[in-house]
Every structure is written in structure tokens, then in C-alpha cells.
Amino acid sequence: MSAENLALKASRIFLSRGRRRLIKDLSFWIEPGQWLALHGPNGSGKSTLLRALCGLRSFDHEPELSFNGQAIANLARCSGIRLIFQGHAQGWKDGLSAFENLRWQLSLDQYGAAPIGDQALESALERCGIGQQRHLPFAVLSAGQRRRLAMSRLVLSLQGAGHQQRLCWLLDEPSTALDDQGQALMGSLLGQLLNQGGFAIIATHGAIPHAPPALTCDLGA
Amino acid sequence: MKGMMRDIDSGAWWARYAAPTRFFPIAGRLVAPLFMLAAMLASIGLYIGFMIAPTDWQQGESYRIIFIHVPAAWMSMIIYLAMAFWGVLALVLNTRLSAMMLQALAPTGAWMTFIALWTGAFWGKPTWGTYWVWDARITSELILLFLYFGVIGLRASIDDDRKADKACALMAIVGAVNVPIIYFSVKWWNTLHQGASVSLTAAPKMAQTMLAAMLIMTAAAWAYSIAASLVRVRSLIIEREPSSAWNQSPSLQQKALAGVVPK
Amino acid sequence: MFLASLQRDLRLLLRQASEAWLVLVFFLLIASLFPLAMQPEPKTLLAIGPGVSWVSALLSVLLSMPRMFAADAHDGSLEQMLLQSEAWMGILLGKLVAHWLASGLPLSLVAPLIGLQYGLDATSIAVLVAGLLIGTPILTLIGAIAAALNLSARGGGALLALLMLPLCIPVLVFGAGAVEAQSAGLGAEAHLSLLGAGLIVASVLAPWACSTAIKIAMD
């Protein structure tokens, strides 16, 4: 099967927030192993577009979205895609520890697949540099440490089973608050994702260092 | 815009009128005749009710307020059901006009409920010596008024138009499902407390003229409610979709040029 | 996912146990206000006891409603749950049950204290507790719809009260009516079975309405 068939194709995307039209007739096409960088000033609709692609909010009119040649309503409801979405608010609870937060999030991500053991969680946390802090209450973690927790979720998604499905990351500004080491890790994780044949759409202000080259889409234009 | 028109023309004949563009002028043409009809019917009804219908042997002249009270009460319930109907359409078909109809009906419905409660109080005073009675129907009317306030309040608290549309649609549906349950429970409660209750349903036996007056007043209330709601829908269309209203009405264009109506 | 969601919510609640205690204290406080505002004659108290208990329970559940979804909506966990479309209903039900376990259930168990304050006899108290056990889940279910709709709105809890309270009136009527019927010697079966029927209907319809309201709010 050629890469073309497996592509995520989107066209006729119209998006408004309130009465303001943000995106008018956008189209893009991503093949497995590629990632799309969404650029644009604040308020240009990057986060809104990611949420709409997930199905959390609606487009102005029905866009033409297809994956693997089949029309889909949004990325969350596509059986051929395993979706990991990280918005601005990433969904961690202050009242739980980092470990517990990850455990819960994983039970959502891995729903329907074989569960991942605690061992794997611990090593993912180690790899991302927050192994020591894993049982601390989430509220005491710094912004950078919270980002690293988000990355450990991505690490585990790479390991998860489900080879019938393509892994897709929709990330909203994943490099915020990360130090150089963290950014390097992010870049290498992205590289791993693309090597596995997954794809990603990432809203980002600047470039992601050490990341493979990206298709770009500038919403500010 | 092109895509939208394509969808509408290919759909059912009634779906064509679901576009605010087409609905706006039609609504405009209906408003004045409906108001006139309402005024006519109301004058006839009130004349018969207050002048011609016989004095009730039990309640004297004060019973005549039912010619306003009963039609208002009926309308308050009918309008709530209509709101729920538009709510279902708004959620299922995702049409903007259905949501606007819902929003337009709510204030009229609330007014009808208020009038029913107010006139009920004025009926109660001369008849049973008290302004307020915990009668099953009056109490249910009060709760209905709160349900209307809920929909109106919800609308007012949500800034995003589309979100407000859907939230109010859901609230109207949930309320409508509950109205029979609430009425049943209040009636149950009322029958258990016979001592404290006086039934306003003990309306005087209906002479022909009384019935006629009541029906005419109800028709007047219908016509008025529809007309008032259409006026409100038109102003909602102007507010939310200026392009539809703008293209259709030369008088609006003139007003806009004079700075009265937003472009 | 139902159990996992239930476990998560209960764990979060245990770590912020003050919220649950607050609801209980509020319940007892409100019920204690009424006699202080009037003459505490035993006959009057006996007459208003059931009603006061139920109104206090309703207001206490109302107080606990804003925390049901607001925190999750704010920190982004609600949308992560929504993305799992197959597991979503189980997760939502877990949240609803967890909420009741932390509000309605403790209220029902503490209600005998209020019954004693108002001079209700043993069987009346039993009927009060039974009614609350059946009725408070309904309050949680209806309140969840109102709380979810409130997510879309700005402003505080006043709108939540306006949306929730009228819909809860039947529960109030039958719950308090059950105790009065018991005191009058008529037996409370009819009232309690109506409450039970209400619970079944609410458990079927309310989660759907609540889920729709959440999706509207997340839009």
C-alpha cells in the first residue's frame, strides 16, 4: 500500500471563534512519517484547529477529512488512527501524584488495548527525567516538570500495541517551559514517532530543535 | 455561502425556509396582519366576555378575569411546548433558525405565564379572600415561570451564540420533559392537603357565550404570540446574520444608511 | 472504565475531604436555622420537620454541584475523557456515582440527627432516610445536567440553582410527602415507589442529557 493511500487529507476547513472567522478554506495533506507544524501568532486559531480536528469542537461547515481513503468526521472517531491529543490544559489533576496521573491518562489512551504495566510507566518517567518526582503531588511540580510528564505519556504511546492503527499526535505548543535537554528529548521522540510511520500536527511558535523537517502551515498569513 | 445554498435547494421544500435569508421577508409580511388579527379578536373577545356574557350566579362579576387568565395560562404551556419543539430541531438538525425561534418565544411565554399568575391572584382575592393560593395549577404555573427564567437566564449567561443556542435547546427539552412530572407531583401534593387548597379549576359552568369569549381570546393570544415572536426573530436575524436581513429589505437598507441598523 | 473513574474521583475527594464535610455541615446548619427563626414548639417542628429536612438536603446537594465538572473542565481532563468515545459513558457514570457517594449518601445517613431535632418518631425517621437514599441520587442526576449546562455559562452558582431547583421539585414533594404520609398513618409505599420509579427514569435519561450538555460546553 503506497504512502499516499494512508495519508490524512483535509480540505474545505472553515473555522470561526464566536463571530470572527479564523480559518478560511484550509487544506493539507500529511503522509505517514511526516509532521505538520502549525505556525501563527496568538489567537490565529492554532489551538482551535487542533481541537476541531479532534472532534472536541465543530467546524463551520463539514470539511472533507479522509484517512486511508475513507471519509472521517474527526480524528478521534477514526478507527485507523490512535490519537494522542495534548491541549494547553493537559488534563492533569493537582490532587493526584505524577504517577497516578499518568496511570489514569494511560487507562484512557490504552482503552481497548492490553494494559501497560507499572514497570513501563516507571521507566518512561525515568527517561523523561522525572523518575524522582513521580510520587510527589502534582501541584508541587514545576512547569518544566509537568511538561516532562506530558512527554512520558508520549513515550508510552510509542510503545503501545495496536499495529493496525497509525499513531497520531496532536500537540499544542509542547516545547513550552522545556529546558534544552527537554527540547532535545522532544525532538528525538518526534523522530521516533515518524520512524514508526506515525504522524503529528503540532502547533508551535518556534521550531522544535533536533526535530526532523516539517511541513509548515502558517495560520497568520 | 455556495455550499449552504446547495444543501438547502436539494432538501425538502420546507427546508428552504430554514434559511434566515428566505424566512426574514416572509416573517416581515406576516407580522402586521397577525397583530391586527390579534387586536380584532381581543376586542371581540373582551367585549363578549365583559359585556355580553351573563353574570355568574356564584362569583358575580369578578369571574370575568378568566377571559384573560385562562388563555394566558394555555398559551404559557403551548409556547413552552413550541420552544421544546424548536429545541429538538435545533439540536438534531443544527439549524440556526430553530434556535432563534426558541430564543424569540421565551420572553413571550414568560409574559403569558406572568399574566396568568397575576390575573389568577386578582381572581383569588375577591373570590376566596386571598391573593395567593397553593392550588395545583397556579403552583405549576409558578414553576413554569422559573423554567422560562432558566432558559432566558442561560441564554443571557453564555456569550458564544452557537453554544447558547444548543444549551438553551437542551434546557428547553429537559424542562418540557419535566413539566408533566412537575404538574403531576404538584397535583398529588395538592390533593393531600385539601384543607389548604382552593381549586381555581372550579370555574363557573360555561354558558355558550362564556365559552365563545374564552376561545376567541385564546385565538387572540395565539395570534399575538406568533406576531411578537416573529418580530423578535427578525431582530435576532438582523443581529446575528446581517447579510440575510440586509439583502432582503430596502427599508432596512435605508435605515442602515441613516445609521440606525448595523450593517 | 466505570470503576477506574469511580476510583479516581473518590481518591481525589478523599484528598480534599473538606469539600465533603462541608456539605454535611451545611446540611445540619440549614436545618438548625429554621427553629431559630420561629417558635420552636414541638407541634410546629413536627409539622415542618420532613419538609425542612428535604429542603436542607436539596440545598446541600446544590452546594456540592459546581465542583462536579468545573475542575475537570478547567484543567483539561474532561476533554481527554470525551476523546475516548467508547469509554465516555462509563467514565461519566463513575463520576455521577462518586458524587452521590460523597454527598447524597452521607446526607441520608446523617438525617436521623435532624429527625431527632424536629421530634420525628422512629418510623418517620426511617422513611426519611429511605426517601433520601432513593431521592438524593435523583438530585445528583438532575444537578449534573444543570452543572454541565452551567459549564457553558459565565458567572457563579445562581444560574445553577435556577436551572436545578425547579426540576427537583417532584423529588421534594414525594420525599417529604412520604414522611408525612407515614406520620399520618397512611403508609409511605406509594411515595417511595414513585421516587424509585423516578430514579429509574432519571438514571436512563439524565446521563444522556448531561453528556450532551458537556459536549456543548466543550465546543
For A134-176, what is each residue's pLDDT tens digit? 888 888 888 888 888 999 998 888 886 556 788 899 998 888 8
**C128 close to C120: Cβ distance less than 8 angstroms:** yes
What pLDDT, on the 0 to 100 scale, is given for residue A1?
A: 46
What pLDDT, on the 0 to 100 scale, is given for residue B259?
A: 60
Put simply, whether C15 touches A (Cβ < 8 Å) is yes
- Which three three-digit cell numbers place residue C134? 432513593
CB contact under 8 A, B150 and C166: yes
With bands split at pLDDT 50, 70 and 90, how would you rate the model's confidence at A22? confident
CA distance A37 to chain C (A): 22
Put simply, whether B6 touches C (Cβ < 8 Å) is no
Q: In this structure, what DSSP letter does residue B131 have?
A: S
What pLDDT, on the 0 to 100 scale, is given for residue B54?
A: 67
Question: For C136-192, how does the pLDDT look when each residue is reduced to its tens digit (9 = 90+)?
Answer: 999 999 999 999 999 988 877 889 999 999 999 999 999 999 998 888 888 788 889
Nearest residue to C77 (alpha-carbon basis) of A57, A89, A103: A89
**B69 close to B116: Cβ distance less than 8 angstroms:** yes
- Which three three-digit cell numbers place residue B182? 412537575
What's the mean pLDDT in A103-125?
Answer: 84
CB contact under 8 A, A56 and C83: yes
User: CA-CA distance, A92 to C77, in Å (whole number)?
Assistant: 6
User: CA-CA distance, A73 to A14, in Å (whole number)?
Assistant: 14
User: CA-CA distance, B73 to B154, in Å (whole number)?
Assistant: 23
User: Which range among B245-259, C48-62, C99-113 shows the weakest confidence by mean pLDDT?
Assistant: B245-259
**C149 close to C217: Cβ distance less than 8 angstroms:** yes
With a pLDDT cut of 90, the percent of chain C lying above it is: 62
**B133 close to B200: Cβ distance less than 8 angstroms:** yes
Q: In this structure, what DSSP letter does residue B50 have?
A: I
Residue of B4, B7, B162 to mutate for A, most A C-beta atoms under 10 A: B162
What pLDDT, on the 0 to 100 scale, is given for residue B195?
A: 42
Amino acid, res. C187: G
User: Which range among B20-29, C71-80, C179-188 shows the weakest confidence by mean pLDDT?
Assistant: B20-29
User: CA-CA distance, B190 to A107, in Å (whole number)?
Assistant: 51
Residue of C2, C10, C74, C79 to mutate for A, most A C-beta atoms under 10 A: C79
Searching chain A, which residue's CA lies closest to the CA of residue B161?
Answer: A18
Question: For B192-202, how does the pLDDT look when each residue is reduced to its tens digit (9 = 90+)?
Answer: 665 443 444 54
Q: Is the pLDDT of residue B260 over 70?
A: no
What pLDDT, on the 0 to 100 scale, is given for residue B199?
A: 46
Enumerate the residues of chain C whose CB falls inside 8 A of the CB of residue A74: none
Return the residue matching grid coordinates 470525551.
C82
User: CA-CA distance, B167 to B150, in Å (whole number)?
Assistant: 11
| Nearest beta carbon to residue B160 from set A12, A18, A61 | A18
CA distance C22 to chain A (A): 18
**A84 close to A109: Cβ distance less than 8 angstroms:** yes
Total Cβ atoms within 10 A of residue B217: 26
| Nearest beta carbon to residue A95 from set C12, C84, C85 | C12
Put simply, whether A18 touches B (Cβ < 8 Å) is yes
CB contact under 8 A, B182 and C170: yes
What pLDDT, on the 0 to 100 scale, is given for residue A63?
A: 85
Enumerate the residues of chain B whose CB falls inside 8 A of the CB of residue C163: 150, 153-154, 171
With a pLDDT cut of 90, the percent of chain B lying above it is: 25
CA distance B88 to chain A (A): 19
- Which three three-digit cell numbers place residue B232? 423578535
3-state secondary structure of A60: coil
Q: Is the pLDDT of residue C92 over 90?
A: yes
CA distance A63 to chain B (A): 11
Q: At residue C156, what are phi and psi to the nearest 5 degrees?
A: -90, -145
Q: Is the dihedral of CA A100, A105, A108, A111 positive or negative?
A: negative
How far CA C185 is from CA of B122, B183, C148, in Å, comes to 38, 26, 41
CB contact under 8 A, C162 and B167: no
Total Cβ atoms within 10 A of residue A109: 21
What pLDDT, on the 0 to 100 scale, is given for residue B110?
A: 95
With bands split at pLDDT 50, 70 and 90, how would you rate the model's confidence at A16? confident
| Nearest beta carbon to residue C149 from set B143, B171, B186 | B171
What pLDDT, on the 0 to 100 scale, is given for residue B58?
A: 62
User: CA-CA distance, C201 to B36, in Å (whole number)?
Assistant: 46
With bands split at pLDDT 50, 70 and 90, how would you rate the model's confidence at B16? low
Question: For B70-119, how does the pLDDT look when each residue is reduced to its tens digit (9 = 90+)?
Answer: 889 889 999 999 999 999 999 998 888 899 999 999 999 999 999 999 88
Nearest residue to B20 (alpha-carbon basis) of B246, B254, B261, B260: B246
Q: Sort residue C119 into left (φ over 0), alpha (ψ -120 to 50) or beta.
A: left
Cβ burial B84-114 (10 Å sphere, 16+ → b, else e): bbbbbbbbeeebbbbbbbbbbbbbbbbbbbe
Question: For A32-82, how does the pLDDT look when each residue is reduced to its tens digit (9 = 90+)?
Answer: 888 888 888 877 888 888 999 988 888 888 888 888 888 888 888 888 888
Which residues are CB-contacts of B220 (< 8 A; sequence separation ≥ 6)? B37, B38, B39, B40, B41, B42, B45, B71
Enumerate the residues of chain C whose CB falls inside 8 A of the CB of residue A91: 75-77, 79-80
What pLDDT, on the 0 to 100 scale, is given for residue B46?
A: 81
What's the mean pLDDT in C115-127?
Answer: 90
Q: In this structure, what DSSP letter does residue A97 have?
A: B
| Nearest beta carbon to residue C166 from set B147, B157, B189 | B147
> Of all helices (H) and strands (E), which one includes residue C138?
helix C122-152
Total Cβ atoms within 10 A of residue C61: 27
Searching chain C, which residue's CA lies closest to the CA of residue B141?
Answer: C166
What pLDDT, on the 0 to 100 scale, is given for residue A180?
A: 84
**B55 close to B61: Cβ distance less than 8 angstroms:** yes
Searching chain C, which residue's CA lies closest to the CA of residue B165?
Answer: C216
What pLDDT, on the 0 to 100 scale, is given for residue B38?
A: 86
**C216 close to C73: Cβ distance less than 8 angstroms:** no
More confident residue, A124 or A216: A124
Q: How many CB pairs under 8 A join A and B?
A: 7
Which residues are CB-contacts of B83 (< 8 A; sequence separation ≥ 6)? B102, B105, B106, B109, B151, B172, B176
Put simply, whether A114 touches C (Cβ < 8 Å) is no
CB contact under 8 A, A85 and C83: yes
What pLDDT, on the 0 to 100 scale, is given for residue B250?
A: 66
The CA-CA-CA angle for residues C141, C146, C149, to 5°, reads: 130
Put simply, whether B194 touches C (Cβ < 8 Å) is no
Put simply, whether A215 touches C (Cβ < 8 Å) is no
What's the mean pLDDT in A106-114?
Answer: 82
Amino acid, res. B68: I
CB contact under 8 A, B146 and C166: yes
The interface pTM score, or ipTM, of the predicted complex is 0.90
CA distance C87 to chain A (A): 7
CB contact under 8 A, B161 and A19: yes
- Which three three-digit cell numbers place residue A100? 497516578
Searching chain A, which residue's CA lies closest to the CA of residue B241?
Answer: A19
| Nearest beta carbon to residue B163 from set C152, C159, C174 | C152
Question: For A185-199, how does the pLDDT look when each residue is reduced to its tens digit (9 = 90+)?
Answer: 888 888 888 888 888
Put simply, whether B94 touches C (Cβ < 8 Å) is no
3-state secondary structure of A88: coil
- Rg of chain C over CA atoms, in angstroms? 18
Which residues are CB-contacts of C25 (< 8 A; sequence separation ≥ 6)? none
Q: Mean pLDDT over all residues of chain A?
A: 83
pTM assigned to the model: 0.87
Question: For B157-188, how does the pLDDT look when each residue is reduced to its tens digit (9 = 90+)?
Answer: 998 888 999 999 999 999 998 888 888 888 88
CB contact under 8 A, B167 and C159: no
User: CA-CA distance, A47 to A12, in Å (whole number)?
Assistant: 18
Put simply, whether C20 touches A (Cβ < 8 Å) is no
List residues bridging with A203 in a β-sheet. A38, A172
Q: Is the dihedral of CA C192, C194, C196, C198 positive or negative?
A: negative
Work out whether strand A199-203 and strand A35-39 pair parallel, antiparallel, or are unpaired: parallel
Enumerate the residues of chain B whose CB falls inside 8 A of the CB of residue A19: 161
What pLDDT, on the 0 to 100 scale, is given for residue C31?
A: 92
User: CA-CA distance, C161 to C143, in Å (whole number)?
Assistant: 9
Return the residue matching grid coordinates 501497560.
A116
